[in-house]
Structure formats: C-alpha cells, structure tokens
C-alpha cells in the first residue's frame, strides 16, 4: 500500500494543473438535457463526437481525460481525440461488421486506446457493445470516474502485471443504470441505479455500456447524482483497504493521513474518524477546512 500511496503522491506532484473537480450541471437534477442514449463522461457530458460539443465542454472534458494537457487544437480535443475514427486501427471491427452484418453487431460509442502512450492515444469512436456472461450485469454508464490508474494503464506502467488486449477502454469507477442482467444474477434487476468499481483487467467505463460482475456492483445512494457517485468506488475502496485491510486501524489509535483533501485522502479521513481513531491530516492551506 505504501507503493500505492507514493504513486498517488507522484501523480499529484507531477501534474502542474490541479485535478478537475466534479462540475455541477446547469439544469435540474444534474441532467444536461441531451439525448439519453449517450454516456456522461466526467460531468455527465454525453459523447456525441468532438465536433458536436461546445468549446467549454471540450475544454473541461479534455482536462478531465488528460490533465497534463490543456491546449485544444482545431476545435477538437487536441491529440487526445484527434484522428479518423475509421482508421486502420478499427479495421478488424469493420471487417467483423461486414462479415456478420451491421444489424447483428451492436455498437456503442467509447473512448479507447489501441496502444500504450500519452493522452494522444485516446480515441473516440465505435466499439462492440459488451456481451453478458453468467453472474454479470450490463450497465448503461451515466458517469465515469477518472483516476490515477487510468493514465498508469494508458502509459503501460502496469503491463507487467496485466496483459491487456487492444483496443482497450479505460475507466474503472462508474455510476449508471442496469440495462440487462445475465443468468444467475439475483441481487439486481433492469432499471436499478448502481455504482461500481469493475475488474481492472477488463474494459472500463469510458463508454456507453460496460459489463460488470454482480459482486462488483452496489445500489447507488439516492442522495448522490451519478456524476458524484462515480467518484466514490475506486478512491473509497483504496482508502478502506489502506486503513483496515493493511493497517488494521482500531478505535483509539492515532493515524496520519497525507493529502487529506485528495480523492483517496478525504475518504480516509472520514473512515478513520468513523472508526473512532484520532486523525491527523495534511493538506494545502486552501484545503485545510475541508479536512476538519
């Protein structure tokens, strides 16, 4: 876990631009009033192609997907979204469509990578809609979290641990609505609002749909909009594992939490306080009030 903490600290310190906070919607109940069939990545923006988004939305989404880059080129998402979506990298999907017929292969929109690299390898385009297996649910994504593991996978830092197959969809924190349940699923039904931290060895949630094992899904609290719920699973689980699975924190103990206002840190502060520990947290001056 110390390696994970150091990796998170390295990520925070190496970025000259602060992480992008969740953006509140301008319309009632967190909805943006766009077509309901598309996913809302980060601030529940629905992906209808870079050309259809406003300049402000492009800027915010670009920062969320690649916080180390800030320049938007030619009205698109710069290198992160630039390129022909029907390039040779999609040739095998196109040949599959030709072979089985477009009507037989259901497609969805997604942000994918076809090789390791920087933000420029992110591509927005078509991907096969995932198929259900035993004990799995199909979730229509309303919001996807962006976490340090995303850029670590994208840059190839975890390729010695997990042998990913390309093209790959990133994003392992999400909130959405169950679209379909597979054989053997008993805890959920179609229409349930849920959030999840999927298996990081599989495709993630930068997409319209994602398939997740039933055991990795929980009902979303009604008090949380999807865009906020998507930020909970991965960071929350990381904080819980550090405090209780590894450190075995107990009531009355003292615990020092660095980065107490960060994604993992602010969960750790609350968990430790809930446990009855004496909590000491570090944070920048402007964020100290958040930790109290």
* Percent over 70 (pLDDT), the chain: 64
Listed range (2-16, 59-73, 246-260) with the worst mean pLDDT: 59-73
Using the predicted structure, report yes or no on whether residue 178 has a pLDDT greater than 50: yes
pLDDT tens digits, one per residue of 126-175? 999 999 999 999 999 999 999 999 999 999 999 999 999 999 999 999 99
Would you say 147 and 106 are in contact if contact means Cβ atoms under 8 Å apart? Answer: no
Using the predicted structure, report yes or no on whether residue 257 has a pLDDT greater than 60: yes
Using the predicted structure, report yes or no on whether residue 16 has a pLDDT greater than 60: no
Would you say 173 and 205 are in contact if contact means Cβ atoms under 8 Å apart? Answer: yes
- Maximum distance among all Cα pairs of the chain, rounded to whole angstroms: 65
Listed range (28-32, 91-95, 139-143) with the worst mean pLDDT: 28-32
- Distance from C-alpha of 217 to C-alpha of 89, rounded to nearest angstrom: 32
pLDDT tens digits, one per residue of 47-69? 444 444 445 444 444 444 443 33
Using the predicted structure, report yes or no on whether residue 81 has a pLDDT greater than 90: no
Write a three-state SS string for the chain.
Answer: CHHHHHHHHHHHHHCCCCCCCCCCCCCHHHCCCCCCCCCEECCCEECCCHHHCCHHHHHHHHHHHCCCCCCCCCCCCHHHHCCCCCCHHHHHHHHHHHHHCCCCCCEEEEEEECCCCCHHHCEEEEEECCCCCCCEEEEEEEEECCCHHHHHHHCCCCCCCCCCCCCEECCCCEEEEEEEECCCCCCCCCCCEEEECCCCCCCCCCECEEEEEHHHEEECCCCCCHHHHCCCHHHHHHHHHHHHHHCCCCCCCEEEECCCCCCCHHHHHHHHHHHCCEEEECCCHHHHHHHC
Q: What is the pTM of this model?
A: 0.66
239 vs 46, more confident: 239
pLDDT tens digits, one per residue of 194-235? 999 999 999 999 999 999 999 999 999 999 999 999 999 999
- Distance from C-alpha of 220 to C-alpha of 201, rounded to nearest angstrom: 23
pLDDT tens digits, one per residue of 206-217? 999 999 999 999
pLDDT value of residue 96: 52
Q: Tokens 């790959």 sit at which residue?
A: 168
* Distance linking the first and last C-alpha atoms of the chain: 25
Using the predicted structure, report yes or no on whether residue 109 has a pLDDT greater than 60: yes
Give all domains of the chain, ordered by start, each with its CATH number: 21-227 (3.90.180.10), 235-291 (3.40.50.720)
């Amino acid at each position: 876990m110390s390696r994970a903490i150091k990796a998170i600290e390295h990520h925070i310190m190496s970025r000259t631009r602060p992480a992008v906070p969740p953006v509140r919607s301008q319309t009632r109940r967190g909805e943006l009033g766009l077509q309901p069939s598309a996913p809302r990545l980060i601030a529940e923006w629905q992906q209808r192609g870079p050309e259809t988004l406003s300049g402000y939305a492009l800027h915010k989404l670009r920062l969320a997907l690649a916080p180390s880059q800030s320049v938007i080129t030619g009205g698109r998402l710069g290198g992160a979204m630039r390129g022909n979506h029907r390039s040779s990298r999609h040739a095998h999907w196109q040949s599959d469509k030709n072979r089985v017929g477009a009507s037989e292969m259901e497609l969805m929109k997604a942000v994918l990578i076809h090789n390791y690299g920087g933000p420029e390898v992110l591509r927005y385009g078509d991907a096969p809609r995932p198929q259900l297996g035993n004990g799995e649910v199909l979730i229509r994504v309303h919001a996807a979290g962006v976490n340090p593991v995303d850029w670590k996978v994208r840059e190839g830092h975890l390729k010695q641990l997990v042998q990913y197959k390309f093209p790959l969809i990133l994003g392992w924190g999400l909130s959405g609505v169950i679209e379909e349940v597979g054989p053997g699923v008993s805890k959920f039904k179609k229409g349930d609002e849920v959030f999840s931290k999927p298996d990081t060895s599989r495709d993630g949630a930068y997409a319209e749909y994602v398939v997740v094992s039933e055991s990795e899904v929980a009902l979303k609290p009604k008090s949380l909009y999807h865009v906020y719920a998507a930020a909970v699973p991965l960071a929350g689980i990381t904080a819980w594992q550090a405090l209780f699975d590894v450190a075995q924190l107990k009531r009355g103990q003292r615990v020092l939490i660095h980065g107490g206002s960060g994604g993992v840190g602010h969960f750790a502060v609350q968990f430790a306080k809930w446990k009855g520990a004496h909590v000491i947290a570090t944070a920048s001056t402007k964020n100290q009030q958040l930790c109290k």
